[in-house]
Amino acid sequence: MPLKLHIKPIFLLISLVCIISCNNDVAVKFPKVSKEIKLKYASGFSANYYDGYKIISIKTPWPNAEKEYSYCIIDDKAKIDFNLNTFDAVIDTNIEKLVVTSTTHIPALELLSVENALVGFPGTDYISSEKVRMRIDNGEIRELGKNEGINTEVLLEIDPDIVIGFGVAGVNKTFETIKKAGIPVIYNGDWVESSALAKAEWIKLFGVLFKKEREADSIFNQIEKRYNEAKILATQAGDLPSVLSGAMHKDVWYLPNGSSPEGQFLKDANVNYLWGDTVGDGSLALSFEAVFEQAKDADIWLSPSYFSSFAQLEEANSLYTKFKAFQTKRVYTFSNTTGATGGVLYYELGTARPDLVLQDLIKICHPNLLPDYEPYFFKQLD
């Protein structure tokens, strides 16, 4: 049986031990770490290994988080001589059923060949993966509503061993309800990382959860190798096209800072991103006039918001037609690459496969360097 069914008597016993220890002023100490997961880029989590259990720490679940979350993974026979109440969740080492709450979590499951453990998701229409969609169509994955208000009644019915959640600006009240029901919730903060490879390295978190650390490490090393090979290839480009990104939302044009992960992609693709010298993790918010003045003659226009055709761009704002990239039809988007039910593939797979994203950008900006490559996410606007 899953560990969560036996947790109450363990907690009672441990609480009694803790009371006795506190009365005798004996501090609880962990034994020496036998192994620590090696991370090259990611800084938002860690995992330490001990005899019979592992401890995962989520250091940055969301920007400016004031709390670090810790989770203990143990097997039924592990001898625990410390207070389990010190952890945000205690997890059984054998995870058979789980719920994830972001499409960015799904590629890690597929890459590790554990997608069959997925039993629920909020907003299944956003999922593009053919394997996972087949399981949805077969009724093996339940619809859980919206991430901001997960249908807890259905979730408790499917009774997952664990829920992988995320928080944008603090604790999600729905997750607190789920935890009170005895189901562990782990916050995944991959999206907070400051580089594409750091985000992709969170596959190692799933490797720890599913006891597939070696496979996760090997998969990430391959992704890293392909990314760095593409980065080196891009340095061979003779001409550096000037690049514009983003589009207007109401009266504001949003586009990535030069030091953001999106800006880093453009730097590694060896292009002249017109805002490449700006600094920040998020987006720049500029007026149309400021963008037009600097980018009216940009060679390439990438990711024009949600617009999927030139006609849509022109209908939204006729001034878009005055950009050189619009006139030469060199506008590219990932919005047109979707799954069977309309989910945008980039939002699902792009985080896990930055090597594909970089190769797409190199193909668009330096086509001669990848003559036989077909872009995976980015396509020319219709």
Q: What is the rounded CA–CA span in Å between residue 213 and residue 203?
A: 9
Q: What is the mean pLDDT of residues 47-51?
A: 90
Give the pLDDT band of residue 17 (cuts 50, 70, 90): very low
Per the CB < 8 A criterion, the answer to whether 208 and 55 are in contact is no
Angle in degrees, 0-180, between the axes of helices 261-268 and 354-365, rounded to the nearest 10: 50
What percent of the chain clears pLDDT 70, i.e. is strictly above it? 89
pLDDT given at position 274: 98
Residue 242 has pLDDT above 50, yes or no: yes
pLDDT-derived band at 27, boundaries 50, 70, 90: very low
End-to-end CA distance of the chain: 54
Identify which has the larger pLDDT, 289 or 82: 289
pLDDT above 90 for 2: no
Angle between helices 213-234 and 354-365 (to 10 degrees): 10
User: pLDDT grade, residue 32 (50/70/90)?
Assistant: low
* Confidence at residue 100, expressed as pLDDT on a 0 to 100 scale: 97
Secondary structure of residue 248 in the 3-state scheme: strand
Reported as a single tens digit per residue, the pLDDT across 121-177 is 999 999 999 999 999 999 999 999 987 789 999 999 999 999 999 888 767 788 888
- Going by the DSSP 8-state scheme, the letter that residue 344 receives in this structure is B
SS (H, E, C) 325-343: HHHCCCEEECCCCECCCCC
How much of the chain, in percent, has pLDDT values that exceed 90? 78
pLDDT at 252: 96
- Report the pLDDT value the prediction gives residue 280, as an integer from 0 to 100: 82
Token pair 């059923």: residue: 97
35 confidence band (pLDDT: 50, 70, 90)? confident
Q: Report the pLDDT value the prediction gives residue 78, as an integer from 0 to 100.
A: 54
Q: What is the pLDDT of residues 208-227, one digit of tens each?
A: 999 999 999 999 999 999 99
Nearest C-alpha neighbor of 254 from the set 283, 281, 279: 283
Whole-number Å distance between alpha carbons of 208 and 214: 9
The model's pLDDT over 318-368, given as tens digits with 9 standing for 90+, comes to 999 999 999 999 999 999 999 999 999 999 999 999 999 999 999 999 999
Domains within the chain, CATH numbers bracketed: 3-223 (3.40.50.1980), 235-380 (3.40.50.1980)
Please give the mean pLDDT across all residues of the chain.
Answer: 89
| Per-residue pLDDT at 210 | 96
- At 244-256, the pLDDT tens digits run 999 999 999 999 9
Phi (first) and psi of residue 370, to 5 degrees: -130, 70
